[in-house]
Structure 1
Amino acid sequence: MHVLVTGGAGFIGSAYVRNLLGGGLGPAPATVTVLDKLTYAGNPANLAPLAGDRRLRFVHGDIGDAELLHTLLPGVDAIVNLAAETHVDRSIGSAAEFVTTNVLGTQTLLQAAVDLAVPRFLHVSTDEVYGSIETGSWTEQAPLLPNSPYAAAKAGADLLVRSYARTHGLNVSITRCSNNYGPRQYPEKIIPLFVTSLLRGEPVPLYGDGLNVRDWLHVDDHCRGLQLVLEQGAPGEVYHIGGGTELTNRDLTTRLLAACDADWSAVRPTPDRPAHDRRYSLDDSRLRALGYRPRVPFETGLAETVAWYRANPSWWEPLLPAPLRRAAAPR
């Protein structure tokens, strides 16, 4: 089997590739091709544990490059599309690249998959396409009501994927996950941002009243969910992948402060960002019916994640803005 993983040098994509070739997701495919544009969040170091593995081929390129795709897709049995611009704050400041990659790039990839008759296509999306929910949890039939340019671009991609299933008969499935965490996450998301800041003795910003609620999913559990959908998901269907741990950002901050030997004096209240969704919550019973269960308890996963950042400043320090690049002083 030959699997093409787009965005495979990013946080989730590289975790999926490492798990896939490491045997953590069942029998490994004969070949994995990673296609990654290597924008700021794509990092070849994320694939360093697989250096020398002859089953892995890395291609530096863009999912929006139709000519390149037509050279890569012959012989590919499955596409796992993780290529995306993902950070809400960046999308508020500059939405164009989010539309270019998430919408136009996905459409180009879909068309190439149709043209080259790729047997299977898994599109990885997010709970943010639904907007915000006060109580209860979204099912896969909930309407898409995105509130940020990032979420809107992902929703647009989801609709294109659905249309290619209905119009062209492409064998697609869509997954929507809750907030991921784990090692090697780019330090702009809340957990690695707070951890790397606290380890340097720097303050951390907490938006608004800190009562926004998120469900937390370890990246390895996400990868197991992705593989389950790839292998058993029904064509044209959507599946939710949840972690089962809902926390307010204040609760999360309390845990991160304790893990990094800091206290609330390190927290800087920050004006809330525009259209900040209050709460996300996924009903993942459809995937659980296929056997999915998150395996990593949040307390264990968070402790291991903090320990990884503490032990690996050589990975994250080069990613900091230039004025902050200085010798780490973990405490």
Structure 2
Amino acid sequence: MFVSHTRESSSAKPKGGVQKGVLVTGGAGFIGSHMIITLVEKFPQWQIINLDKLDSCSSLKNLSSVDQRPNYKFIQGDICNPYLINTLFERENIDIVFHFAAQTHVDHSFRWPAEFKRVNVDGTRVLLKAACEAGVEKFIYASTDEVYGESIDKECDEFCPRQPSNPYAASKAAAESIVLSYWKKYKLPVIVTRSNNVYGPHQYLEKVIPKFISLLLLNKKCPIQGSGLQSRHFLHTDDAIEAFLTVMEKGVPGEIYNMGSNFELSIIQLARELIKMMKSTSAEEDFNNWLDFVEDRPHNDLRYPMNSDKLQGLGWKPCVTWPEGIRKTVEWYRAHPNHWSVIEGSTQL
């Protein structure tokens, strides 16, 4: 079923200026919603289309600041539905695609790998086929640093082999291969991006930073998988959106771009920093009172260091410092305690 929520006719675009149609899949999710808000505000003459299935990790509340704008349209639907996707590309004048829609919870991927293949691989294939037939001018695929697999000592650049070590990362690596094959065979102007862990406002509570924040707000402990010594590089959503805009404007078709931060933190140290911020404590025994060590996932990579020189060569670099970014993130969750329902269970790193 093709469900559209808009005040405009299905093929309408704002009048005046250079007009483009931009499709953002997963636009009610975390990064997708920030991307849409930026595009709607930055390019009022463009038509921005949000395609989202509205799973538990998505919410139209993320888009309340733009949902009445004339250059924004929401369509509820599944990227795995060929009829819906083909109809969408037939009805809309789509020039650029940002493909964010995906299953992303690593722990869940060990339990339901077939669903991750269906959404992340088959859904991407359906979208690529329709985009190719429509002749879009750019197709930007959002992937992850996890496709590189664990790297202890070496920074991975775009030439490093993909060695995914969990079903989620494997599904993203497979989808990347399909995306790049459309460039090789059809010259569909695709670009693949691989980002570190992105954080900031709107993020669903299954991810490690919002989960720790939400639990601490409820005076509950932070669950630490295994030793907690696994470390991650964290990139603020503002920097991530600037990276995607840079790729949209300057990225070369057929290329891969790492979107990485130099800031790295172990999960247990992340928990300690948040406890210190939110509970105003620095005593060792007080930290331990807020930590709950739980069973680790079947495999948990220690770290994913990336080299982002290629993207920085296009003029992008991270600008939001960790102290500024995490402070603003905590403030947002304090101010919006009912944006998401509190969840229990494992934590996505």
TM-score by length of 1: 0.93
Q: Once the 2 structures are TM-superposed, how far is the Cα of residue 243 of structure 1 from its aligned partner?
A: 2.0
Deviations along 1:223-243, whole A, 9 cap, x unmatched? 110111111111100000012
**Alignment check: 8 A CA contact 2:214 2:342 kept:** no
Distance 1:291 1:117 in 2: 28
Distance 1:159 1:278 in 2: 25
Distance 2:227 2:267 in 1: 9
Residue 146 of structure 2 aligns with an amino acid whose one-letter code is E
The question of 1:58 aligning with 2:74 is answered yes
The alignment covers a number of residue pairs equal to: 318
Distance 2:275 2:327 in 1: 12
Structure 1 equivalent of residue 22 of structure 2: 3
Distance 1:77 1:304 in 2: 34
Structure 2 equivalent of residue 43 of structure 1: 59
Q: Once the 2 structures are TM-superposed, how far is the Cα of residue 66 of structure 1 from its aligned partner?
A: 1.6
Residue 132 (structure 2) aligned to one of 114, 129, 141? 114
The question of 1:320 aligning with 2:345 is answered no
Unaligned runs of 5+ in 2: 1-19, 280-285, 345-349
Structure 2 equivalent of residue 69 of structure 1: 85
Please state whether the residue corresponding to 1:50 is helix, strand or coil.
Answer: coil
Q: Once the 2 structures are TM-superposed, how far is the Cα of residue 250 of structure 1 from its aligned partner?
A: 1.8
Please state whether the residue corresponding to 2:229 is helix, strand or coil.
Answer: coil
Distance 2:62 2:288 in 1: 32
Quote the RMSD (CA, aligned, Å): 1.4
**Alignment check: 8 A CA contact 1:14 1:46 kept:** yes
Structure 2 equivalent of residue 200 of structure 1: 218
Structure 1 range deviating more: 84-93 or 28-37: 28-37
**Alignment check: 8 A CA contact 2:28 2:50 kept:** yes
**Alignment check: 8 A CA contact 1:133 1:278 kept:** yes
Please state whether the residue corresponding to 2:276 is helix, strand or coil.
Answer: helix
Distance 1:9 1:79 in 2: 15
Moved over 3 A (4+): none
Residues 84-163 of structure 1: matches in 2 within 5 Å?
Answer: 84-163=102-181
Q: Once the 2 structures are TM-superposed, how far is the Cα of residue 28 of structure 1 from its aligned partner?
A: 4.5
Structure 2 equivalent of residue 215 of structure 1: 233
Distance 1:142 1:321 in 2: 36
Structure 2 equivalent of residue 327 of structure 1: none
The question of 1:19 aligning with 2:46 is answered no
Q: Once the 2 structures are TM-superposed, how far is the Cα of residue 204 of structure 1 from its aligned partner?
A: 1.3
Distance 2:114 2:72 in 1: 32
Distance 2:335 2:288 in 1: 24
Distance 1:200 1:226 in 2: 34
Distance 1:264 1:195 in 2: 16
Please state whether the residue corresponding to 2:339 is helix, strand or coil.
Answer: helix
Residue 257 (structure 2) aligned to one of 239, 242, 248? 239
Residue 228 of structure 1 aligns with an amino acid whose one-letter code is T
Structure 1 pair 321/242, CA: closer, same or farther in 2 (3 Å)?
Answer: closer
Structure 1 equivalent of residue 309 of structure 2: 285
Distance 1:28 1:165 in 2: 30
Structure 1 range deviating more: 288-297 or 71-80: 71-80
TM-score by length of 2: 0.89
Residues 181-196 of structure 1: matches in 2 within 5 Å?
Answer: 181-196=199-214
Structure 1 equivalent of residue 247 of structure 2: 229
Please state whether the residue corresponding to 1:163 is helix, strand or coil.
Answer: helix
Structure 2 equivalent of residue 309 of structure 1: 333
Distance 2:255 2:28 in 1: 26
**Alignment check: 8 A CA contact 2:22 2:47 kept:** yes
**Alignment check: 8 A CA contact 1:197 1:203 kept:** yes
Identity %: 39
Q: Once the 2 structures are TM-superposed, how far is the Cα of residue 277 of structure 1 from its aligned partner?
A: 0.5
Q: Once the 2 structures are TM-superposed, how far is the Cα of residue 247 of structure 1 from its aligned partner?
A: 0.9
Distance 2:140 2:205 in 1: 27
Structure 2 equivalent of residue 325 of structure 1: none
